[in-house]
Structure formats: C-alpha cells, structure tokens
Chain A
Amino acid sequence: MSFRRRTLSLPYPLIAITHNGVRVMFAYVLRRLARAVVTVFAVVTAVFFLERLNGNPAAIMLSNTATPKQIATLSKALGFDRPLSVQYLSFVKGLLHGNFGTSLQSGTPALQLVLGRLPATLLLVLTGFIFGVALAMFCVLAIQLTGSHALRNGLLVAGQVRQAIPMFVFGVLLVLAFSVTLHWFPSQGEGSWKNLVLPALTVGTFEFALYLRFMDASFGEQSHQDYVRTAYAKGNAPHGVVLRHELRNVLLPILTIIGFNLGGLLGGSVIIETVFNWPGIGQLTVESVNTRDFPVVQASLLVASLAFVLVNIAVDLIYSVVDPRVRIR
C-alpha cells in the first residue's frame, strides 16, 4: 500500500491543500494511473493471445456447419489470416488510438457500444449502492442509539441470511414474489422507475448486509477506545458520543471498503443485469461472450477495470482529505 497510517497524534498539516501537497497528490494519481494502464494493457494482451491460442476466431464465430471456405473468407475479411505478430501490432496500434476494433455483431466501434451502456449500469449500481449504504447507516445508528440487543441481533441475522443468498438467486426470488405473484413491478428491461425497483433492491440489500456488518464491527472496535471513555467521562450523553465522536472514526475504514466494493460492483453487475435483462455493460458482456464478439468483451473488460481503478484512486484521495493523519507518499 502506498499509504502510511500515522499512529502518532501529531497535528499533521492537511497535505492536500498545501502547495507541495497538490504536487505530491498529482504525482500519486499519475503513478496509480500509469500502473493501472500497464496492468490493463497486460491483461488485454493476455486475452488477445489466449483468444488466438484457442483456435481461429473466425471458426469459433461461425457455427459448426460452416465450410472451410466460409471460414477462410471471414478470416481474410477480419484479418485473422495474417501472422500473429502483425495482428498483435495492429491491435496495439488500434488500442493507442482508443480503437478496440468494431463489434463483430453490429459493426459499431466496440468502445462506443460499451460506453453507450455505461449510464444504465451507473444508474442501477449507484441507486442500489446509495440505498444500501443509507439503510445500513440508519440501522447501525439505531442500534447504537437505542442500545437494543434484540434490534442488533435481529438486523445482523437478517444481514447474514441475505449474504448467504447469491445475487442472482435473490433477484429471481424477488421476481417470483413481486412480478409473478403480486404483479407489482415488471421483471425485465428498462423504462420507468418501476423497472429499477427490483434490480436496485437486489443490489441494495446486498450492500446493506455488507455495510451493516462492517459498520457494526467498526462501532464495536471504537467503543473500547480511550477517547470514547474520555468522552463519556466528560459527561457527554451517549447519543453525543456516538454521533460526534465515534461516527467519524467508524466511517474512515468504511471508505476503503467502499472503494473495493463500488469498483467491483461496476464490473460485477454482470449477474444482476442478466437476471433483469437490464441493458448495461454487464448484459452486453454476457451477450458478447455468447456470440464470441471478442472486441466488445475486451472493451468492456477495459472499461470495468478502469472504473474499478478510478474509484479506488478517488477513495484514496478522499481518505487523505478526510483523515489528515493519512499521508500520500
């Protein structure tokens, strides 16, 4: 990790706002981005070669009944008949121009296709994420402020049961309950806010379970700290200690989890989009995988991993702004 957590309680200046701090931060972002680009490039290259190792892509794209002549024609049209090194060079050249090749199915540029699906994915993921985190925060605060064991145990068990159900199973069960039986919400596609409810609920309850557990554990850790005891000893009311002293320390480690989780969600919405036929990147990826549309698969892998990296960089930066003890090196 590029972070050093200072345990000394010296008053470190907020590094992000000093002149040098901006430079350090900028260098840090550049370094992270450079590493991300290298990794993504490495993976895209690996995918390129694996794809070719697996046989002639043209043959894979066509059905089993295709004649060798048809395969040869398609190979020639798509450039698969050239030597591997030449193919790779032109592939890399295309990458540097932001060109992932055109979709073998629709003929539109792959990257454009993927980016066109981005808003739908963002809408779904962010709605679910915000709903889940807000609900988890509300519940954890309710637990802390009421101090009720029954509430805490009940919520934690509910969260655990939810975590034991995979995303797609939960989605299918929701469809069964709310579309097939109750006819409240549509089960497929995109359109009005009603279409968003079930997929967002699937994502949201998953997030809720995740953050409930982490926030609860974090509160459990904080409650033994000396500063909490001091705050109580000074005569603060419990709700004051929880809201003003503990909460901000509880939220700090949660930020790190948000980075991983939100980044992963952006790429991992594959399942949920397939269940609800939601026209996002995930659904596009699965479609392209099934039709062997490799340029599109590669482009969506790239977009998903870049989103993942960007979210993590953003979280690291927010971390250093929120918690001045954390310094970027």
Chain B
Amino acid sequence: MNVLVTRTERKLAQWRSAGSAPPGAARPRRSRLRPATSVAIVLLFLVAVLVIVVPFLPSYNPYAINLSVALEPPFRSTAHLLGTDELGRDLLSRVSLATRISLLIVTFALMLNVLIGVSVGLTAGYYRGKADTVIMGSADLVLSFPILILLVTIVAVLGPSAQTIAVVLGCVFWVSYARVSRATALSLRSREYVISAVTQGASGWWVIRKHLLPQVVPQIAIMTSFDLGVLITVEASLSYLGLGIQPPTPSLGGMISDGQNYLQTSPWLCVLPSLVLLLLIGGVQFMSQRFTSEGQQSRGMTAT
C-alpha cells in the first residue's frame, strides 16, 4: 500500500511539474527570463537592426540594378555584404526594405482587424438582439471558408497590390476579436456597475467606452501578439504566390519565389529571405507565448 501511494504521488508530482501549476497552489513567480523570451528578444533585436540600421548603411539601395555584379554570393564585397540578386540588386537592402514593408502592412491589417472585431463584438454583446444575430452570423460565415483560398480569390478579383493585401488581410481576421469582445460584453452588461451607469443615464456608447472597452484590452493585446505571426506568414505566402506586393518593390515571399529559379546555382537568394522570415516569425511567436502563458496564469488566479 505504502509503495503504491508513493509511486502515485511521485507520478502526480511529475505530471504537475510538467504541466501548469495545480489549481490553488500558485507557484512563486520567477523573475528570471524564460529561455523562450530571451530567444525572442535576440531574434527581434536582429530584425530591428535589419529594419532600422541597415537603411543608414552607405551601400543601402534596394532598387539599383547593376548587371555586372549579378548573383554575387554573400560576404564577397563590402558594397554588397549579403550578395546580390539576378539583377545585381543589393540583397541586404532589399531584405531590409521588404521586412519594413511587410511589418507596415501587417501592422495596418492587425489594427484594422482589432478595430473591426472589438467594435463589432462589443456592440453585439452589449445591445444583443438583431445586431448580435447579424454580426455573429457574418462571423460564422467568414469562419466557414478555408481562409487562404478565400484570400486568394478576393485578392485575385480586386487585383494584387500592397494596398489590396493590407485591406483584405484587415477584413478577414477580425472574427476572434469579435468573439472575445462579445463574450466579455455579455458577461459585463448585467454587472451592477454597468447597470448603475445605465440608470444614471449613461448612453450605450459611454458604457462601451468606459466600462467594457478597458476590460477587453488585455485579452485583445495577447491575441494580437499571436495574430501578428499569423499575418506575417499569410502576407509572405500571398506575396510568394505573386498576389501580394508587386515587383519591383521587394517582399520576402516574392524574393523567395524569384530565388527558387536560381536554387541550383545561388541558393542564398532563397536562404536569406527565409532566414529573415524565420527570425521575424520566430521572434513574434516566442514573444507571444510569453504573453499567452502569463495571461493564462493571471486569468487562473482571478478565477480561484
């Protein structure tokens, strides 16, 4: 009996330490950075250097064509530190500009998504009724399509360009924000302080702005950190298909697609943008993990 108990206890303790902390027993917070977070910081720092510092280099020129130095391998000359592409354009400059453009597009799209999702979700959750049905119905509608083929179709119809892709990406990923905001609004609308505000003559807009919005912000912030990686991936994928940013403007996906033709002779054309994409997405992803696990922790604490 004794043996059995100890074995069970040991096993349970093992699983507990492997998973999250058991309910009720809040683990002491570690002040040390977790490895994933430090990796994220390093990756994002590299990306930041690429985006912020590289444009100030004397060799920075993403568009200058020079066929005499075409397909130069990396680390051969200081003029083109990371080599050149098939038209002799400086790869480092192009990768830097591509990353900047991608981040701009994705940030714009993300803000648009949050704006649509939160406003729509809070309205639906607070007012209920017909608005709720319509809004959540259209949310289900968006969800009932494989997202990528939907994006491809829309972009194809509207004609591919950086503006199109920013707006389209901004209108497709709002559903999760709407759902979370709606759920929060639903649970808060019957709280005493909200009812009291309404009895004192507060308008719906005021209640949403002052009482509901602040409550969804932390959750939404966590979700954006996750969606950032997703959007970067989707943007790069669409550009790879030739449906995103159009040449001669550089894009990471487009550069990989072009580089595929030279895979035999000049693999760095593909490897370099791939590496940058990996730094970017990996950094964002590891960072978002830190936020999500912290969010879950704090949510767990308020629940108990």
Contact = CB atoms under 8 A, between A and B. Distances in A.
A232 B277 contact: no
Contacts of B42: none
Interface string A39-71: 100110001001100100000000000000000
B152 A289 contact: yes
Given A264-B146, A305-B145, A224 B264 contact: no
A172 B256 contact: yes
Nearest to A179: B263
A179 B106 CA distance: 33
A290 interface: yes
B271 interface: yes
A164 B281 contact: yes
Interface stretch (B16-24, B51-59, B191-199): B16-24
Interface residues of chain B: helix, strand, loop or mixed (majority): helix
Contacts of B22: 224
A169 B277 CA distance: 8
Contacts of B237: 166-168, 271
A187 B270 CA distance: 15
Interface residues of B, number: 53
Contacts of A42: 141
A180 interface: yes
A51 B156 CA distance: 9
Contacts of A235: 4, 8
Given A167-B237, A180-B267, A268 B281 contact: no
A23 interface: no
Contacts of A54: 157-159
A295 interface: no
A169 B146 CA distance: 20
28 contacts: A35-B144, A147-B18, A160-B286, A164-B229, A164-B278, A164-B282, A165-B274, A166-B233, A168-B237, A169-B236, A169-B278, A173-B271, A220-B19, A220-B20, A224-B23, A232-B11, A264-B148, A267-B148, A267-B150, A268-B148, A270-B149, A271-B240, A271-B241, A285-B149, A285-B153, A300-B149, A305-B146, A307-B146
Interface of A: 35-36, 39, 42-43, 47, 50-51, 54, 147, 149, 152, 160-161, 163-169, 172-173, 175-176, 180, 187, 219-221, 223-224, 229, 232-233, 235, 238, 263-264, 266-268, 270-271, 274-275, 282, 285-286, 289-290, 292, 294, 297-298, 300-301, 304-305, 307-309
